Chain A
Amino acid sequence: KAGVTQTPRYLIKTRGQQVTLSCSPISGHRSVSWYQQTPGQGLQFLFEYFSETQRNKGNFPGRFSGRQFSNSRSEMNVSTLELGDSALYLCASSVTARTRTDTQYFGPGTRLTVL
């Protein structure tokens, strides 16, 4: 079974631009979660989608948004990029995202650098 795939793997943007990242979950998984990982703040939860609905959201500004398609693939968008948005963006898929009992499988991440 193929794992979680994220595209692109690396991205360089300048301040003020916007960016869209893509995540394809494991086949059969309906939940996709997004995380931001930085050296200073660690791994922080952005949002989670299940069956095309945002079910949970972290404490990030409205510049961060996402969506999920009917085939469970997900995209996240960051508008008006700031230098502090430079990070590794990880997506994770699971069958239900009931984190107490379900296993999340992470993709390799997209490394975003904002200049």
Chain B
Amino acid sequence: TQLLKQSPQFLSIQEGENLTVYCNSSSVFSSLQWYRQEPGEGPVLLVTVVTGGEVKKLKRLTFQFGDARKDSSLHITAAQPGDTGLYLCAANFGNEKLTFGTGTRLTIIP
């Protein structure tokens, strides 16, 4: 059974601060996606990374895919209240099913 563990589970920081959330697995995955989910809505895809060591930037968000393809991180610079939400990583372990992580609930305090 492939499991994706995210840390921290909860994170509450002040507006303007930087933060990093992590997604780790004991198994190699072929691709990794990051989603953000807001209350009352479904998850929205932020990025897909497919190459080990890959780094992608989306405005203030930086996504990194570990060299060993077992971990990924999401770094947010100068957090804003609009970044508040549930952040989910989701991996493809080669079977075309998405396995979702445990989630990080992020709250940005104005």
| The stretch of B10-18, B39-47, B52-60, B63-71 that contacts the partner chain | B39-47
Q: Do B96 and A56 have beta carbons less than 8 Å apart?
A: yes
Q: Give the interface residue-count category, chain B.
A: 20 to 34
Interface centre among A33, A100, A103 (most CB of B within 10 A): A100
Interface centre among B44, B48, B98, B101 (most CB of A within 10 A): B98
Residues of B with C-beta under 8 A to A99: 31, 33, 92, 96-98
A81 interface contact, C-beta 8 A: no
Q: Give the interface residue-count category, chain A.
A: 20 to 34
- What is B's interface to A at a CB cutoff of 8 Å? 30-31, 33, 40-45, 48, 50, 88, 90, 92, 95-103
**CB within 8 Å of B: which A63-115 residues:** 90, 92, 97-101, 103-109
Q: Do B92 and A43 have beta carbons less than 8 Å apart?
A: no
Q: Of all chain B residues, which has the CB nearest A43?
A: B100
Q: How many A-B residue pairs have CB under 8 A?
A: 60
Residues of A with C-beta under 8 A to B100: 35, 42-45
Q: Do A100 and B50 have beta carbons less than 8 Å apart?
A: yes
Q: Do A104 and B101 have beta carbons less than 8 Å apart?
A: no
Residues of B with C-beta under 8 A to A26: none
> In the assembled complex, how far is the CB of residue B7 from the closest CB belonging to chain A, in whole angstroms?
14
Give the CA-CA distance A45 to B2 in the complex, in Å.
13
Give the CA-CA distance A101 to B101 in the complex, in Å.
19
Give the CA-CA distance A98 to B92 in the complex, in Å.
10
Give the CA-CA distance A109 to B42 in the complex, in Å.
6
